Structure 1
Amino acid sequence: MTLTNWIFGPQAIGLLFLLIGIITYFFPAKTVNTWYGFKTPSSKNNQQTWDVANRFAAIFCIKAGLTLVVGGILINLLISSMLMPVRTQQMLHIISFMGSGVFIGPLLMVATEKYIEKTFKQ
């Protein structure tokens, strides 16, 4: 088990999401803009949808980040405790790292869009 596996794993993606979530929670974008915040057509509809979407997305990022940090550590412990070739362990680490990043981004988008839709039924 190398130090690289402990640095670059789902926990690294988790730390990134945690950091983004904390920054956007404590320093939210004050107005609808094109460079900072959760930017989709439905979130940029008006100031109210903007505020709700960005607050939800920030909280989602914090929860997802914490989940990935804990999950990443557990995945690393599990993979390192299994008897298998080093190359197989490395491949599992790569798959878990890439899978966590590819999975959480779209999940954030879908969850926030559904929340906007539910909150602002038209």
Structure 2
Amino acid sequence: MKFPPERINGVYGYRTPFAMKNQETWDSAQQYGGFSMIIFGIINGFFCAWSYLQPMNVNNQNAQLLFLVIGSVLMIVIDEVHLRKLFNRDGTRKERL
């Protein structure tokens, strides 16, 4: 979030086809995606600490992995919905009324 990739690349950053439409969608995706990654990382950290403190019937590692996968998918969905609210399908910014 503080040092996002400045140019569109295929190596690192929040890379989805819609986020890579143009530089404006890329910049917005990096800023919002970085924020959501921090939020989901904090939530995952709390869940990890809680799963070690609470006895569970399932394996702690499997529960953490499941939460990580669900959180990642949820984060991508939330980020894509945010981008679709700001930009048209062709990548141009929607006009505000």
**Superposed pair shares fold, TM > 0.5:** yes
Q: Choose from 30, 34, 44 the match for 1:58.
A: 34
The residue identity in structure 2 corresponding to 1:50 is W
Number of equivalences: 89
Q: Flag the structure with more relative contact order, 1 or 2, with Cα contacts below 8 A and sequence separation at least 6.
A: 1
Partners of 2:68 and 2:30 in 1: how far apart? Answer: 20
RMSD (CA atoms): 1.6
Q: CA deviation at 1:106?
A: 1.1
Partners of 1:109 and 1:59 in 2: how far apart? Answer: 12
Q: CA deviation at 1:95?
A: 2.6
SS of the aligned residue for 1:97 comes to: helix
Q: List runs of 5+ in structure 1 lacking aligned partners.
A: 1-24, 83-87
Identity of aligned residues (%): 26
Which residue of the partner structure matches residue 117 of structure 1? 84
Partners of 1:43 and 1:119 in 2: how far apart? Answer: 11
Q: Deviations over 1:71-90 (max 9, x none)?
A: 221222122xx7xxxxx4xx
Q: CA deviation at 1:44?
A: 0.6
Runs of 4+ in 1 over 3 A off after TM superposition: none
Q: CA deviation at 1:113?
A: 0.6
In the alignment, is residue 37 of structure 1 matched against residue 13 of structure 2?
yes
Would you tell me which structure has more helix in proportion to its own residues?
1
Partners of 2:17 and 2:62 in 1: how far apart? Answer: 32
Q: Please tell me whether Structure 1 or Structure 2 has the larger radius of gyration of its CA atoms.
A: 1
